[in-house]
Amino acid sequence: MAMEEVQVSRQGSLAVLDIRGYVTKTSGVPMKTAFAGLDPAVYRSVLFRFDKETYVNSEGIKTIIDLLLEAGQAGQRVGITGVSDHFEKIFGMVGITKLTRIYKTEEEAVQDLTPEG
C-alpha cells in the first residue's frame, strides 16, 4: 500500500501529519510536501501520527530524519506516535529518538507539544 498523500490536521499551533502505508523514497514526497506547507511561525509543533500498519524502509527513515533536522533548524518541536514496537526499536537504533520523542499515545503527545494543551 503506497502512501499517496499525507493528511494534515491542525490544532492551534500543532500540526498533525497522518502517515499511512509504505514510507519509501518515492512516497516520502507527500510527507515533504505536507511538511513544507507548515509555516514554523504558525505551527510551533508537529506530530507525525503513524498508523500501526505503516512500513518504513531505509529511504523512508532518511526522509523522516531529514524532516526532523529541518524542523529543528526552524525551531519546531516534533513528536512521533503510533509506530509499532518494531519500528520504535529501529527508530532508536538509527538515531531518530535522539532528534525527537516517540509518544505512547496521541493524547500524551498533544499535551506535551501544545503549550495551550
- Sorted by where each begins, the domain ranges of the chain are 7-109
What is the arithmetic mean of pLDDT over 47-53? Answer: 92
Look at residue 6 in the predicted model and tell me its pLDDT.
86
C-alpha cell at 53: 500498519
- How confident is residue 4, by pLDDT bands cut at 50, 70 and 90? low
Which of 32, 109, 39, 55 is closest to 78 using CA atoms? 109
Place of cell 527513515: 61
Look at residue 13 in the predicted model and tell me its pLDDT.
94
Look at residue 3 in the predicted model and tell me its pLDDT.
61
CATH class of 7-109: alpha beta
The dihedral region occupied by 82, where left means phi > 0, alpha psi between -120 and 50, and beta the remainder, is: left
C-alpha cell at 117: 494543551
Q: Is the predicted pLDDT of residue 31 greater than 60, yes or no?
A: yes
* pLDDT, tens digit, 9 for 90 and up, residues 56-89: 999 999 999 999 999 999 999 999 999 999 999 9
C-alpha cell at 68: 526532523
Look at residue 110 in the predicted model and tell me its pLDDT.
95
